[in-house]
Structure 1
Amino acid sequence: MSALDEPQMPAGGDTHIADAHVDGAPALSLELLLQNLPGAAYRCLNDGVWTMEFVSDGIEKLCGYPPAAFMARPGIPFASVIVPEDRIAVERGIALAIEEHRAFQLTYRIRCANGAIKWICEQGSVAASGKVLEGLLFDFTRVRNADMLVHEQASYLQRARDGIVAIDINSRITYWNNGAERLYGWNAAEVRGRKFSELLCGNLPAYHAACEATLSNGEWSGELAHVRRDGVAIETDTRWTLIEADEALGAPQKILVISTDISERKHSEAKIYHLAFFDALTDLPNRASLLDHLRRALLGSARTRKCGALMFCDLDNFKYLNDSQGHAAGDMLLQAVARRLEHCVREADMVARLGGDEFVILIQPVEDTREGAATQAETVAAKVVAAMAAPFQLAEMSYSVSVSVGVTTMCGTVDTVESTLRQADAAMYEAKACGRNTYRFHDPAAQAAWSARAELENAMRRALRDDEFVLHYQPQLDRSTRVIGAEALLRWRLPDGKLLYPAEFIHAAEESGLIIEMGRWVLRTACAELARWQRYPDTAGLTLSVNVSASQFIEPDFVPMLQQIFEQTGVQPSGLKLELTESLVVSDFTQTARTMGMLKQRGISFSLDDFGTGYSSLAYLRKLPLDQLKIDQSFMRDVLTDQNDASIVRSIIALGDSLGLQVIAEGVETPGQRQFLSDAGCFIYQGFLYQHALSAEHFTQYARMVH
């Protein structure tokens, strides 16, 4: 506060202290009055140093100097006790009062006799044409300090980052800090007296609930949506505190509202939630979200006894699009499929993406019976199948896709999350088995088959982990009955000693994708065995044929994987023969030919397995680097009794001869079959006529014996 600040104290009059008297009262009464003043009365010259002509005894309590010290000649000029920094302001204040012919009121600092600083409030008037000043001096230090404290505390509120607002019980704003101005956009002058509820609150019921809770409990805290001056809604973390009325100060009851902007935090939380529960590609709910909604649906179903349904939707042959057109095209298709699926369901139902090309539809439990739920689900399933029938426009390409849909009804009193998912998945596989592009409801028999397949897959994983698979070797002989090589055949020896043949598990391995890991194991084991043969002169010339699945052969790392096996085992690749199926050749001729060419350069030879059972074509026989055709045992079985089979076998042998390819027959079981083959020009044989598949140790013994 400067020397010109004017605290509210009684204004001074024009009374001349030296001449003051009360009619009929003794002079002693005036002296007593002056002694009891909470300060000092004075009369001084306006001579620039304010020489005192009179000052009451209270001056000594005020500044530590007795009155005589000021009134002596020469005495202490009053100006000398005023802090130098405040003197100019005092002079200006008095000069302005003289100019305006009025009393004056000044505050300034003095230095006391003991060196202490005090604030003084001087209230005076000008007499004798401005030559004399007279008035009262009061100790203003306590009031000044209290005022400074109030100002300091008020500045804290103004500097707070939070919006701090005080409202009366009628919601009218009585205080608005700078933080509120930054948060909401209005300044204090614009909002004072306006209703907080009408100015900021977009959700009036939430505002009224907070207000009632504050009046009842004395406080409330929570999140409220407020509206800024520019119309933007912001989320705030708000704390309301009831300030009770103060009758002594005449202050009415108010509510103090402190609000923190949490819009950015809420946005980040929403973003994190979206990342956790929504699929980034299709923006559909993901697996975690589906499981949560399915659990909630089943809990609600258990309470209401209502029934719903779950549908698994799997795109047919989606992998072909990814492989042929690239992942960008596949992603576009998945996004388009997601949008079509959303149009097939009611608003309350849910479409989610589990991953890959697998989508799930949750039909909320609202039907009284499973039959009603099944009817509703069938309607949706038919719409899904029909929706996929129209071609999709993927950039410049039009692409058609079908879908297999598995449906199961659910009721929370019986079903669980796990059982519902399992049943819908099994139904989906049943739809695929029925020709795809259709839907099927869960069937207990199909469920049993699905469970058996799942159990088989788990057992195969265990077998790979625990080395339960073994290779047996079936000899291949020439016309001189000399062993020239073998075919590696996979067997699975169960922990109880039972031996399983590929027909019992290979199909499941291919469907589950385990065939890739299984194929690596077969190649690694076969190459290690071939490397052992190559270390001994009497078996060094043997070849080893290994069947390679189509899915394994088209793996991008197939060639590097084989090269790594060659380096680890030390095998000479010239002794290895890979047997490929016709289906592999036909499905992706270009990639197959490229891979075969790279392996051919490393010395590997190739045999076309089961020739004649697939889509045989002279075109690919001429273009592929094949070394051998293998007559399937299905033709050999009736070659002596069925003229068609006999003709096919002769044609295969003749074809191989004309193309310069070696021909081998498998499934040779009788001397008559061997003689037929020999007469037709086939001189390499494999079958029970000579030997079953043998363990590695027994094959080596057999090969040396008939070498």
Structure 2
Amino acid sequence: MAANTRATSTSTMRAPKNRQFSSRLCRISANEEKMRRLALFDPLTGLANRAHLQQHLAKAFQYPDRRLHLFYLDLNRFKQINDTFGHATGDEVLRVVSNRLAASMTDARLIARLGGDEFVVLHDAINPDRVVLDAERLLTVLSCPIVIDGRRHLIGGSIGFARYPEDCTSSEELLQAADIAMYDAKIRETGLSIYNADMKSRIEARQRISERLALALDEDALSLAFQPFIDLSSDSLIGVEALLRWVDAELGNVPPAEIISIAQEYRLLRRLGRWVVAAACKAIMGWEDKGLAVPFPTSINVAAEQLEDGSILRDITDMCEVYGVRPEQIEIELTESIMLKAPEDARQVVLGLQKLGVKVAIDDFGTGYSSLALLMQFSADKLKIDNSFITDLFADSPSFKIVEATIALAKGLGCIVVAEGIETQTQADILQRLGCGAGQGFFFDRPLPAKIFSERWLKPVAQTEFSPA
């Protein structure tokens, strides 16, 4: 009896120890699971992280007959949102995008966030027809507005697609190929790009151009060319546009559109924009120092990023002060697409510029999707009709009707009208009969270096009479 009592007592004493041991094991197991999740999953979105993806690919590549397809996604406007509205908003955007990806790609092998605003969707080999369908589904996910604190954010994205074994021999090469294709989609603004071997050399070439552009900015090796705006009724000079030019010792003549594209891609646009403002102000100062009259504004083209980050306002303010130029001697040209990309952000910057006295022109009008309300919000001083409507301008042509309506619209809004791309006397005559105030194009003159422009078009102060068209 005593022995049984001791046995029961010993068993009773062991029970708490067993429970403590079991509890300790549970805590260890929970900590291990927590560490595993931290090691393999993104804490912000809950998606697999880069390490998890690499482990998954390493296992998949152990099977020689395995075929894989990979989508590489990058968000288009995430940096601007993060910089403008803060990291909390940026984090919420990433969470929403991640949830939408998980909900729309339920048949994927793995969805991972690589870091920043880059994601990967990994599939077993899919039918070629499904590649486009899946890409469209992904682009729809990325293009849907995201509402945070009552504000709608438009993101959009670029997608690269690559295949194993067709495009690569290793998991690293698969990721690199899809990444290269994604950059190709971003550069060409196609939404989706499917990898091919030529893409790598194109990316390397763009990288080289970006290096040369950075050097050109350091060495002040860019230039501006100046093309006149002409009053169609008097043939007098009423304005000038400053156009970017770059002739590189290694690359030769680099087209302006490529310069802007490279600057945007490699984050040189802020430096480039500041250089253009400084060069335009320096040219105006140089002409005036020679006793030449510059009573009209000099136009410079402005990119969406310069409005979104407010740098154009700071640059014009700074450079007008440095070179002694009046703000009303500067005019910014905005395309319709820029107005539509960030109308709320842009409007505040434009209003700030207009308060200084800077003029505003809407460039390439008719090629975008402007609304009357948007035009009125920006209170443009000048409206430039795109040259695509001038090329085929003759009586009863579709272009004729569009140009006629555009001129009437501009006059109703109190804007000066400038027709771009005039190349013949006939075009100039038709535009004048329609009531167009001014023109620009090779018929009057091509873009010229500052010195030649001043010799050909500018007059001493005492000889000048100026009135806008």
Structure 2 length as normaliser, TM-score? 0.74
Looking at structure 1, the residues matched to 126 and 408 of structure 2 have their Cα atoms a distance apart, in angstroms, of 59
Partner of 1:300: helix, strand, or coil?
coil
Inter-CA distance 337–486: structure 2 relative to 1 (3 Å threshold): closer
Structure 1 gap segments, 5+ residues each: 1-188, 201-226, 236-262, 364-371
Structure 2 gap segments, 5+ residues each: 1-8, 465-469
Inter-CA distance 528–276: structure 2 relative to 1 (3 Å threshold): farther
> What's the counterpart of residue 476 of structure 1?
229
Do 2:299 and 2:333's aligned partners in 1 also have CA atoms closer than 8 Å? yes
Inter-CA distance 601–424: structure 2 relative to 1 (3 Å threshold): same
Do 2:333 and 2:363's aligned partners in 1 also have CA atoms closer than 8 Å? yes
Inter-CA distance 412–682: structure 2 relative to 1 (3 Å threshold): closer
> What's the counterpart of residue 284 of structure 1?
47
Using the TM superposition, give the Cα deviation of residue 352 of structure 1 relative to its aligned residue in structure 2, in angstroms. Answer: 1.8
- Write out per-residue CA displacement over residues 434-454 of structure 1, whole angstroms, 9 at most, x where no aligned residue: 975xx77x442xx52464255
> What's the counterpart of residue 98 of structure 2?
338
> What's the counterpart of residue 423 of structure 1?
177
Do 2:74 and 2:157's aligned partners in 1 also have CA atoms closer than 8 Å? yes
Using the TM superposition, give the Cα deviation of residue 676 of structure 1 relative to its aligned residue in structure 2, in angstroms. Answer: 2.6
Looking at structure 2, the residues matched to 621 and 267 of structure 1 have their Cα atoms a distance apart, in angstroms, of 59
> What's the counterpart of residue 454 of structure 2?
700
Using the TM superposition, give the Cα deviation of residue 686 of structure 1 relative to its aligned residue in structure 2, in angstroms. Answer: 1.7
Looking at structure 2, the residues matched to 633 and 376 of structure 1 have their Cα atoms a distance apart, in angstroms, of 40
Looking at structure 2, the residues matched to 593 and 403 of structure 1 have their Cα atoms a distance apart, in angstroms, of 24
The answer to whether 1:359 aligns with 2:151 is no
Looking at structure 2, the residues matched to 611 and 378 of structure 1 have their Cα atoms a distance apart, in angstroms, of 38
Q: Supply the AA of the counterpart residue of 2:228.
A: P
Looking at structure 1, the residues matched to 248 and 56 of structure 2 have their Cα atoms a distance apart, in angstroms, of 38
1:471-620 to 2 correspondence within 5 Å? 471-478=224-231, 479-496=233-250, 498-507=252-261, 509-510=263-264, 514-620=268-374
- Write out per-residue CA displacement over residues 387-423 of structure 1, whole angstroms, 9 at most, x where no aligned residue: 9769999789899998775442224995245531232
Do 1:453 and 1:508's aligned partners in 2 also have CA atoms closer than 8 Å? no
Looking at structure 1, the residues matched to 168 and 138 of structure 2 have their Cα atoms a distance apart, in angstroms, of 32
Q: Compare the two structures and name the one with the higher strand fraction.
A: 1
Paired residues, what number? 443
Q: 1:373 aligns with which of 109, 119, 125?
A: 125
Looking at structure 1, the residues matched to 228 and 151 of structure 2 have their Cα atoms a distance apart, in angstroms, of 52
- Write out per-residue CA displacement over residues 58-114 of structure 1, whole angstroms, 9 at most, x where no aligned residue: xxxxxxxxxxxxxxxxxxxxxxxxxxxxxxxxxxxxxxxxxxxxxxxxxxxxxxxxx
Looking at structure 2, the residues matched to 646 and 524 of structure 1 have their Cα atoms a distance apart, in angstroms, of 39
Using the TM superposition, give the Cα deviation of residue 543 of structure 1 relative to its aligned residue in structure 2, in angstroms. Answer: 2.2
Using the TM superposition, give the Cα deviation of residue 495 of structure 1 relative to its aligned residue in structure 2, in angstroms. Answer: 2.2
Q: Supply the AA of the counterpart residue of 1:233.
A: L
Inter-CA distance 411–430: structure 2 relative to 1 (3 Å threshold): same
Higher relative contact order (Cα pairs below 8 Å, separated by 6+ residues): 2
Using the TM superposition, give the Cα deviation of residue 305 of structure 1 relative to its aligned residue in structure 2, in angstroms. Answer: 5.6
Using the TM superposition, give the Cα deviation of residue 277 of structure 1 relative to its aligned residue in structure 2, in angstroms. Answer: 6.4
Using the TM superposition, give the Cα deviation of residue 626 of structure 1 relative to its aligned residue in structure 2, in angstroms. Answer: 1.6
Looking at structure 2, the residues matched to 499 and 380 of structure 1 have their Cα atoms a distance apart, in angstroms, of 37
> What's the counterpart of residue 410 of structure 1?
164
Q: Supply the AA of the counterpart residue of 2:137.
A: V
Using the TM superposition, give the Cα deviation of residue 605 of structure 1 relative to its aligned residue in structure 2, in angstroms. Answer: 0.6
> What's the counterpart of residue 62 of structure 2?
300
Do 2:49 and 2:113's aligned partners in 1 also have CA atoms closer than 8 Å? yes
Using the TM superposition, give the Cα deviation of residue 544 of structure 1 relative to its aligned residue in structure 2, in angstroms. Answer: 0.8
Looking at structure 1, the residues matched to 67 and 338 of structure 2 have their Cα atoms a distance apart, in angstroms, of 46
Inter-CA distance 494–269: structure 2 relative to 1 (3 Å threshold): farther
Inter-CA distance 519–461: structure 2 relative to 1 (3 Å threshold): farther
Inter-CA distance 388–673: structure 2 relative to 1 (3 Å threshold): closer
Q: Supply the AA of the counterpart residue of 1:602.
A: L
Q: Supply the AA of the counterpart residue of 1:666.
A: E
Using the TM superposition, give the Cα deviation of residue 587 of structure 1 relative to its aligned residue in structure 2, in angstroms. Answer: 4.2
Looking at structure 1, the residues matched to 374 and 73 of structure 2 have their Cα atoms a distance apart, in angstroms, of 37
Inter-CA distance 677–357: structure 2 relative to 1 (3 Å threshold): same
Q: Compare the two structures and name the one with the higher helix fraction.
A: 2
Inter-CA distance 286–190: structure 2 relative to 1 (3 Å threshold): same
Using the TM superposition, give the Cα deviation of residue 520 of structure 1 relative to its aligned residue in structure 2, in angstroms. Answer: 3.2
- Write out per-residue CA displacement over residues 454-486 of structure 1, whole angstroms, 9 at most, x where no aligned residue: 532541343133335332111223344443432
The answer to whether 1:385 aligns with 2:137 is yes
- Write out per-residue CA displacement over residues 105-142 of structure 1, whole angstroms, 9 at most, x where no aligned residue: xxxxxxxxxxxxxxxxxxxxxxxxxxxxxxxxxxxxxx
Using the TM superposition, give the Cα deviation of residue 300 of structure 1 relative to its aligned residue in structure 2, in angstroms. Answer: 3.3
Partner of 2:448: helix, strand, or coil?
coil
Using the TM superposition, give the Cα deviation of residue 487 of structure 1 relative to its aligned residue in structure 2, in angstroms. Answer: 0.6
> What's the counterpart of residue 441 of structure 2?
687
What is the RMSD computed on CA atoms of the aligned residues?
Answer: 4.8
Do 1:472 and 1:696's aligned partners in 2 also have CA atoms closer than 8 Å? yes
Looking at structure 1, the residues matched to 42 and 366 of structure 2 have their Cα atoms a distance apart, in angstroms, of 46
Partner of 2:71: helix, strand, or coil?
strand
Using the TM superposition, give the Cα deviation of residue 518 of structure 1 relative to its aligned residue in structure 2, in angstroms. Answer: 3.2
> What's the counterpart of residue 239 of structure 1?
none
Do 2:297 and 2:359's aligned partners in 1 also have CA atoms closer than 8 Å? no
Do 2:270 and 2:311's aligned partners in 1 also have CA atoms closer than 8 Å? no
Inter-CA distance 401–492: structure 2 relative to 1 (3 Å threshold): closer
The answer to whether 1:678 aligns with 2:465 is no
The answer to whether 1:633 aligns with 2:387 is yes
Q: Supply the AA of the counterpart residue of 2:58.
A: R
Looking at structure 1, the residues matched to 409 and 199 of structure 2 have their Cα atoms a distance apart, in angstroms, of 43
Q: Supply the AA of the counterpart residue of 2:55.
A: H
Do 1:321 and 1:330's aligned partners in 2 also have CA atoms closer than 8 Å? yes
Partner of 1:681: helix, strand, or coil?
coil
Using the TM superposition, give the Cα deviation of residue 355 of structure 1 relative to its aligned residue in structure 2, in angstroms. Answer: 3.4
Looking at structure 1, the residues matched to 132 and 429 of structure 2 have their Cα atoms a distance apart, in angstroms, of 63
- Write out per-residue CA displacement over residues 518-556 of structure 1, whole angstroms, 9 at most, x where no aligned residue: 333322322332333343431442421011122332224
Looking at structure 2, the residues matched to 571 and 630 of structure 1 have their Cα atoms a distance apart, in angstroms, of 24
Q: Supply the AA of the counterpart residue of 2:42.
A: D
Using the TM superposition, give the Cα deviation of residue 314 of structure 1 relative to its aligned residue in structure 2, in angstroms. Answer: 4.6
The answer to whether 1:231 aligns with 2:15 is no
Looking at structure 2, the residues matched to 324 and 525 of structure 1 have their Cα atoms a distance apart, in angstroms, of 28
Do 2:160 and 2:181's aligned partners in 1 also have CA atoms closer than 8 Å? yes
Q: Supply the AA of the counterpart residue of 2:316.
A: L
Partner of 2:125: helix, strand, or coil?
helix
> What's the counterpart of residue 467 of structure 2?
none
Using the TM superposition, give the Cα deviation of residue 606 of structure 1 relative to its aligned residue in structure 2, in angstroms. Answer: 0.8
Structure 1 length as normaliser, TM-score? 0.52
Looking at structure 2, the residues matched to 292 and 583 of structure 1 have their Cα atoms a distance apart, in angstroms, of 40
1:38-437 to 2 correspondence within 5 Å? 228-229=20-21, 231-233=23-25, 278-287=41-50, 289=51, 292-293=54-55, 296-297=58-59, 300=62, 304=64, 306-314=66-74, 328=88, 331-339=91-99, 341=101, 344=105, 349-362=109-122, 373-374=125-126, 382=134, 385=137, 406-411=160-165, 415-428=169-182
User: Which has the higher Rg, Structure 1 or Structure 2?
Assistant: 1
Inter-CA distance 481–424: structure 2 relative to 1 (3 Å threshold): same
